[in-house]
Each structure stands twice: as structure tokens, then as C-alpha cells.
A and B are shown apart, each in its own frame.
Chain A
């Protein structure tokens, strides 16, 4: 009986299959990471109330004008949140994300009872800049579990024009 002739393509094919296993491992870790931060079955049905997003004065720490979804880079703005719409002992926080995913404003973590006097959440320009970078900003009010955000209770998008 004669052995099958050696084909140099076989080692290349096998190497590809080995890399394939590494790839599957990487994607599985990625899926695990996604599921850790985006845990299924976390919906509680609670909804937070975002009263609005207003122009904000850094010196007086007060909001003014109508509820808006668009600002310019030089305009400071802040969200006003009604914590009263949530159960008082629910661990929550509120965060502003800039277009690069950086947190540029935050209140909490704490329970709505603890945060009841922190209803205004301003956006601060990331250091070393002195104006808000243009792009889409997201405000989220999140429910926390073990310090990890697991559910978005309210969300608001704001556009900062260049």
C-alpha cells in the first residue's frame, strides 16, 4: 500500500484551522464581556423622568430657557432629572457621555432618596478644552447592580453643533 503523497497545502490549511480556534476564543470572550455588561433579564419596568435639557450657567449653577436638543460648542447645558419617579432605595446614577464615549458629567451613584437634591446634571468640557466638542451626547439614568450599570431607566440624546 502506498502512502498518500505529501501536500504542502495541508500544513497551511491546518495552521488556518488553529488560528480559527484562537479566533473563536476571542469572539467568545467578547460575547462574554458583552453579556457581563449587558445582562439579559434585567428589565425592571422602572422608568426615570428626564424633565429636560437646558442652557446652564456655570457661575450660578442654574438652568434657563426652554428644553432643547441642540446646542453650540460654547453653550453650557445641563439635564434636569426627577428622581421622584423611581423607588427611593434603587441604586442608580446619571451620566453624560460625549461623542467619544467619555463621561463628561455625572451624578451618583446613590439611591433616588440620596440624590434628591442633585437634580441638575451639567456637562463639563473635557480637559484641556474649554468648549464642548461637537457631536452627539447621551444622557443615561442607569440602575446599578454591584456597581455595574445593568439597565437604562431613561435616555436622552443631545446634539452639539460645531
Chain B
């Protein structure tokens, strides 16, 4: 005998905070407290340039936090308010990015490299970084993540994670320099600090997205996309910092431009996907796999594993890169590529293997749910939609047909319909796997939403 499922109301939403929200609030609270305390301590006790940067960076962190909060609330608000909140979030995040650039510029490098050099470095890194974000978002061929969340992940990596590590690495470096024997021991210690602190600072973003945006965090593929976006953000800011710093050091010798250019190539071309993007994607993979595991013990183990692998990957590069010295002859050009391939390649290959497996798994599951929804009737997914929705190329072809027939508006209307249909299939998949905590009405609402979008697309 089967009993009807107990339906909880979708609107109004259940009152009170879920355990997930409490964890989120606790994590955010700890991050902010650590930032404030460490920045002040850094400034008071170290009085270094990074210390001052961290202190003035607090305003940036506050703006980023507020922008993130509003950005996340966008999905909870009614459509009439949505655009207003999107604009607010984008403006705040934009201000935070600009302020952070300004902070780095003013307090770290302006004295030697100058604002023009910093602006040129930032401008040089923008196209490659944008390309990186575009590629990693497109990797999720079954159901692309919303740009706003990808950009939030990027902003965290660029602003919050870099602010978090500046204090930690400054303190670690200052203590290690005064206590350890210079040479391989000290280098190994610094490599541990970079692996541990930078990966934890970046990984917190992925964990928060997992906790806050469960609807947009479906599986290992999503985890890899968000993780890589955080890594690309971190890499963006780190590239600018290294380029300007080395320019300042080497410009008196007349090779400042060469030093900055070399950094740009190694970090924004060679290391765009191989470095931070790979490391944080490994954390994302762990969190994404945890999303679909049944027991809490397995979830914790998967998330811990992701962090551990990322820390080890990052550590191995920082600690052992010296064992692959680069010659100053033409052979050095080959060696620098081989070094990246040999040292980071295996970890990138691991990410790619997890990504491909995840894509196949996700694709099959979505196809099955699309077929089931179509067979159920109701009009949200028609039998003729099945073959289109299960193929990214056919989806594109359908949008192009809409473009030719009704112009740009029709193209986007068709795109929104496809996205909503895929969201519905994803919702069904999670419900079938019993990994969803939303009321069934949410699925019914989604179905109604699809029907409304279909009506709009038809118009």
C-alpha cells in the first residue's frame, strides 16, 4: 500500500533556519571575523605593505559580501524585483573589484610600478581570464550554470580569497623566515602554507555555494565549474600582483616589461587552466560528489578529499618546481611547457576524467527524466522536445531557428524555455535520487513556469 507524500507548502516558504543555513552563517561569520582580526593584527604587529593592504581591503570584502548576499537573493525575489537586485549586486561587486585593484595599486605597487603599469597588467589579464570563464562555463554542456553565480565565484576567488591569504601567508612567511633554516626546508614550509591557506580560502567559496545555492549546485560537473571559476578569479588577481611586483623589481635593469610579460604568459596562458583553476576544481569535484552521496560521513569524506587533493596538487608545484630548472637558451621555451605538463598535468587530467564521467552520468540521467516528463503528459516537455533537449547542438539549432523566425527576443525566449525544461528534468532527477529537500510544490511551480515560458516563446 502506498501513501500519498506529505506536501509542504512552497509558498510561503517554511519559516526558521535550516541546518544548512546555520552552517552557512557560521562559515561566513568565521571568515569575516578572521579577516577583521587578522587584518588588524597584521597591521599592528607586522606593519608591512600586505598588512596595510589587508586592512584597507576590508571595505572591499564588505562590499563583496553585500554584493554576494544581494546576488544570491535575486533568485528568491519575485521577478519584478529581480532586475533591480541584479543591478545592485553587479554594481557592488564591480565596486569591490575596482576598490581591490585600487588598494593593491595604491598600497602595494604604485610606489614602484606605478598606476599605469598596474592598469596595463590588469587590461592584459582581462581577455584571457574572460576566455577562461567562458570555456569553463561551456564545459557544462547539459545545463549551464547562471553567469551571476559563475561571476560571484570568480569575484570570491579574486577578492575575498586573496584578502584571506595575504594575512596568513604574511604571518607564516614572517615566522618561518625567523625560525627555519633557509633553503629547501623553508621552501617546503612556504609551499605548505600556500597549498593549505590558498586552497582553504578558495574552497570556502565552493562550500558556500553548495550550502546556499543548492538549486544551482547539482553534481560533480557544477562543482568543477564553480571551483574552476574561483581559481580563475584568484589567478587573475595573483597575475596582476606578480606582474606589477616583478616589473617594479626588474625595471631598473631595463627588463621590467619582459619579466611582467613572462609572468603573464606563464599564469594567464600556460597556467590559466593548469594552475589555480585545476586546484580549486578538485575541491569543487569533492563538493559536487558530496552533493549526491547519501550519508553524512561520505559527504564529509568527499569534501575533505577534494580539499586534500587540491592542497597536495598546489603544494607539489610550489615545493618541487625548483627541481625542474629552466635553461636560459631556446630549449627553455620547451622546458617551461613540459614542466607545467608534467607537474600539473596529472591533476588536470584527474579533473577532466571526473568532469567527463560526470557529464556522461548527468546527460544520461537528464535524458531519462526528460523522457519520463514527456511520457507523463502535461505539456511541459512534449515528445518532439525530447531529442532536442538531450542534444546541446539541437538546442542551439532550435534557438537559431527561433532567431531567424522571430529575432533576438525569440532566441532568448526559446533559451529561457530550454533552461526551464532542463531545470525541471534536473529537479525530477534529484527527487528520484532522494537528494532534494524542497517541497513537491516547487516542482509543480517549475512545471507551470515552463508552460508560461512555452506560451511566451510561441508568441
Interface centre among B308, B316, B354, B358 (most CB of A within 10 A): B308
Cα of A62 to Cα of B71 in the assembled complex, Å? 65
Contact A140 B182 (CB under 8 A): yes
Contact of A23 with B188 at beta-carbon distance under 8 Å, contacts A15-B354, A135-B249, A140-B181 already known:
no
User: Within residues 30 to 77 of chain A, which ones have a CB less than 8 A from any CB in chain B?
Assistant: 30, 33-34, 36-38, 73
Residue of B nearest to A100 (CB): B249
Query: What is the 8 Å Cβ interface bit string for chain B, positions 336-370, against chain A (1 contact, 0 not)?
Result: 00000000000000100110011001001100000
Query: What is the 8 Å Cβ interface bit string for chain B, positions 302-318, against chain A (1 contact, 0 not)?
Result: 10011011011101100
Contact B181 A150 (CB under 8 A): yes
Shortest beta-carbon distance, A25 to chain B, in Å?
A: 8
Residue of B nearest to A20 (CB): B305
Shortest beta-carbon distance, B305 to chain A, in Å?
A: 4
Interface size class of B (residues with CB under 8 A): 35 or more
Query: What is the 8 Å Cβ interface bit string for chain A, positions 7-35, against chain B (1 contact, 0 not)?
Result: 01101110111011011101100100110
Residue of A nearest to B365 (CB): A8
Whether, in the assembled complex, B419 has its beta carbon less than 8 Å from a beta carbon of chain A, the answer is no
Interface centre among B177, B364, B365 (most CB of A within 10 A): B177
Shortest beta-carbon distance, B253 to chain A, in Å?
A: 5
Contact A16 B305 (CB under 8 A): yes
Contact B248 A34 (CB under 8 A): no
Shortest beta-carbon distance, A101 to chain B, in Å?
A: 7
Residues on the B chain within 8 Å of A34, using CB = 185, 188-189, 192
Contact of A26 with B248 at beta-carbon distance under 8 Å, contacts A13-B298, A95-B182, A129-B253 already known:
no
Contact B293 A33 (CB under 8 A): no
Contact B180 A13 (CB under 8 A): no
Q: Which of A9, A12, A23, A99 contacts B312 (CB 8 A)?
A: A23
Residues on the B chain within 8 Å of A136, using CB = 177
Residues on the A chain within 8 Å of B219, using CB = 9
Interface centre among B184, B189, B293 (most CB of A within 10 A): B184
Cα of A150 to Cα of B350 in the assembled complex, Å? 38
Whether, in the assembled complex, A110 has its beta carbon less than 8 Å from a beta carbon of chain B, the answer is no
Shortest beta-carbon distance, A29 to chain B, in Å?
A: 9
Residues on the B chain within 8 Å of A154, using CB = none
Cα of A155 to Cα of B305 in the assembled complex, Å? 39
Q: Which of A8, A11, A19, A73 contacts B309 (CB 8 A)?
A: A19
Q: Which of A9, A27, A155 contacts B292 (CB 8 A)?
A: A9
Whether, in the assembled complex, B143 has its beta carbon less than 8 Å from a beta carbon of chain A, the answer is no
Q: Which of B177, B301, B313, B350 contacts A138 (CB 8 A)?
A: B177
Q: Which of B185, B305, B309 contacts A38 (CB 8 A)?
A: B185
Whether, in the assembled complex, B286 has its beta carbon less than 8 Å from a beta carbon of chain A, the answer is yes
User: Within residues 170 to 186 of chain B, which ones have a CB less than 8 A from any CB in chain A?
Assistant: 177-178, 180-186
Residue of B nearest to A19 (CB): B309
Residues on the A chain within 8 Å of B180, using CB = 38, 152
Cα of A8 to Cα of B183 in the assembled complex, Å? 47
Residues on the B chain within 8 Å of A97, using CB = 182
Cα of A148 to Cα of B357 in the assembled complex, Å? 47
Residues on the A chain within 8 Å of B293, using CB = 9, 13
Q: Which of A16, A101, A129 contacts B182 (CB 8 A)?
A: A101
Q: Which of A24, A33, A140 contacts B308 (CB 8 A)?
A: A24
Shortest beta-carbon distance, A20 to chain B, in Å?
A: 4
Contact of A133 with B249 at beta-carbon distance under 8 Å, contacts A9-B289, A38-B180, A152-B181 already known:
yes
Residue of B nearest to A134 (CB): B249
Contact of A37 with B357 at beta-carbon distance under 8 Å, contacts A19-B309, A23-B311 already known:
no
Whether, in the assembled complex, B83 has its beta carbon less than 8 Å from a beta carbon of chain A, the answer is no
User: Within residues 312 to 337 of chain B, which ones have a CB less than 8 A from any CB in chain A?
Assistant: 312-313, 315-316, 319
Residues on the A chain within 8 Å of B220, using CB = 12
Contact A23 B309 (CB under 8 A): yes
Contact of A12 with B248 at beta-carbon distance under 8 Å, contacts A33-B319, A138-B177 already known:
no
Residue of B nearest to A143 (CB): B181
Whether, in the assembled complex, B285 has its beta carbon less than 8 Å from a beta carbon of chain A, the answer is yes
Interface centre among B112, B182, B293, B298 (most CB of A within 10 A): B182
Residues on the A chain within 8 Å of B308, using CB = 20, 23-24, 27
Cα of A150 to Cα of B183 in the assembled complex, Å? 10
Query: What is the 8 Å Cβ interface bit string for chain A, positions 94-131, against chain B (1 contact, 0 not)?
Result: 01010101000000000000000000000000000111
Contact A19 B249 (CB under 8 A): no
Query: What is the 8 Å Cβ interface bit string for chain A, positions 128-162, against chain B (1 contact, 0 not)?
Result: 01110111101010100000011110010100001
Cα of A101 to Cα of B353 in the assembled complex, Å? 37
Cα of A30 to Cα of B313 in the assembled complex, Å? 11
Contact B191 A16 (CB under 8 A): no
Contact of A33 with B184 at beta-carbon distance under 8 Å, contacts A9-B293, A131-B252 already known:
yes
Interface centre among B181, B286, B292 (most CB of A within 10 A): B181
List the interface of chain B (C-beta within 8 A of A): 112, 177-178, 180-189, 191-192, 219-220, 248-250, 252-253, 282, 285-286, 289, 292-293, 298, 301-302, 305-306, 308-309, 311-313, 315-316, 319, 350, 353-354, 357-358, 361, 364-365
14 A-B interface contacts by CB (under 8 A): A12-B289, A12-B354, A16-B285, A19-B282, A19-B309, A23-B309, A27-B315, A30-B188, A38-B181, A38-B185, A129-B253, A133-B249, A134-B248, A162-B112
Of all A-B residue pairs in the complex, the 10 with the closest CB atoms, nearest first, are A37-B185, A23-B312, A38-B185, A26-B312, A20-B305, A8-B361, A34-B188, A23-B309, A37-B184, A9-B292
Q: Contacts A16-B302, A23-B313, A26-B313 given; 20 further ones with Cβ under 8 A?
A: A9-B219, A12-B289, A12-B354, A15-B357, A20-B308, A23-B308, A26-B312, A30-B188, A34-B185, A34-B188, A37-B181, A37-B185, A97-B182, A99-B249, A101-B187, A129-B253, A133-B249, A142-B181, A152-B181, A162-B112
